[in-house]
Amino acid sequence: MSSTAVTGIGELVTCDGTGPDLLGIHSNAALVVEDGLIAWIGSTAAAPAADSRIDVGGRAIIPGFVDSHSHLVFAGDRSTEFAARMTGQPYDGGGIGVTVAATRAATDDELTRLLGLRIDELRALGTATVEIKSGYGLTVSDEVRALRIARRFTTETTFLGAHVIPAEYDGDRAGYVDLVTGPMLQAAAPYARWIDVFCEPHSPHAFDAEEARSVLAAGAEAGLGLRVHANQLGPGPGVRLAVELGAASVDHCTYLGDADVDALAAAAETTVATLLPGVEFCTRSPYPDAARLVDAGVSLALATDCNPGTCYSSSMPWVISLAVRELGLTPAQALLAATAGSAKSLRRTDIGRLVLGNRADLTVLDAPSYLHLAYRPGVPIARVLNDDGFTRQRASARP
Ligand SMILES: [Zn+2]
């Protein structure tokens, strides 16, 4: 067993649910990490001896961000689509086909290399845990390949065969749903913890309520937890379907009616509403009203939705600044949603909060306070504190 004392923490934000704003803040703090877990928290003056010591010089430390929604396994480039959208072309989900073609054409080594670079990037921005979806393969072998590669980097893998109807199934939606709920699911399930579906009647490429219900029911039957993309492009049935089926997370939640908000509030212990304001920023779309959800008692998470079409950013600090500036969250609410909230959306209690026994996923800020996350948008002040034996999730792929 090896131990490391981290001392000189000007502001330790534990997000443990206690104290003002539920942030559990300790000043002039220290903590001890043993075998990657938090073994002691107290003042720097009282810090016990340890095998090694890291002094962070008065900086703030927060829980490593939990990015609970990403699409990081892909090849190709869609920067020209972004540029076109900025000149006024609306987004309807069709550009995903471009990424599907490029991803199918890439080798395993190339997909692994690209994913590794993206993982390095998000860790350099303070993210310690990331969920990764498939969904750019859309054949049995390509979906399995994406999940197999993603599993080398995270345990939080999500089967998203029901991302869009691929071009070769134009005119045969039922045939594709049969594939996703049958042979594709059976092949993908051993590599996935979750199943997800893009439930969006406003996109001709996505899935309607009954198709989404079939996908989620089959996933549950195969032992997978449920996540849903819902109510992104307009009002729809996805949020209430997610709540009805006990999904852990329903993501986007941009267009919500009162019945949706009521359903989410009633299901706050089970279903987390995950907001992805980077998408609204990058697609120049209206933002969800997060303050309305907080007032109603809805459980909230924040994530990047990092993907090549609608938000190619892996920056959780930027998402926090958007949530404060555009969604109506306080800086404290935004930080909680990006850590403990997103951990809850993954049904994880060992991450997202710095409490005894939890993983020592520490993100250090080049700042005296967590407030700087929203106060200094676009400035790279957050990074995962990386030390051998200290964080168990590595930047490079496991063998
Ligand atoms: Zn997404």
Over residues 323-334, the pLDDT tens digits come to 999 999 999 999
Residues with CB under 5 A from ligand 1 (ion): 305
Does 162 have pLDDT greater than 80? yes
List, in order, residues 6 or more apart from 38 with CB less than 8 Å away.
31, 32, 354, 355, 356, 357, 358, 359, 360
Q: Give the mean pLDDT of the chain.
A: 94
49 CA distance to ligand 1 centroid (A)?
Answer: 45
78 CA distance to ligand 1 centroid (A)?
Answer: 16
The order of strands in the sheet holding 132-133 is 132-133, 157-162, 194-199, 225-230, 249-252, 272-275, 300-302
212 CA distance to ligand 1 centroid (A)?
Answer: 15
Place of tokens 């120049």: 284
279 CA distance to ligand 1 centroid (A)?
Answer: 9
Does 93 have pLDDT greater than 70? no
pLDDT digits (tens, 9 = 90+) for 278-322: 999 999 999 999 999 999 999 999 999 999 999 999 999 999 999
243 CA distance to ligand 1 centroid (A)?
Answer: 18
Is residue 63 within 8 A of residue 340, CB to CB? The reply is yes
226 CA distance to ligand 1 centroid (A)?
Answer: 14
Radius of gyration of the chain (CA): 20
Is residue 228 within 8 A of residue 216, CB to CB? The reply is yes
pLDDT classification of 202: cutoffs 50, 70, 90: confident
**CA distances for 326 relative to 31, 223, 321, 323, 330, angstroms:** 35, 37, 8, 6, 11
133 CA distance to ligand 1 centroid (A)?
Answer: 8
pLDDT digits (tens, 9 = 90+) for 4-20: 999 999 999 999 999 99
Place of tokens 């539920």: 22
pLDDT digits (tens, 9 = 90+) for 21-46: 999 999 999 999 999 999 999 999 99
Q: What is the pTM of this model?
A: 0.94
218 CA distance to ligand 1 centroid (A)?
Answer: 20
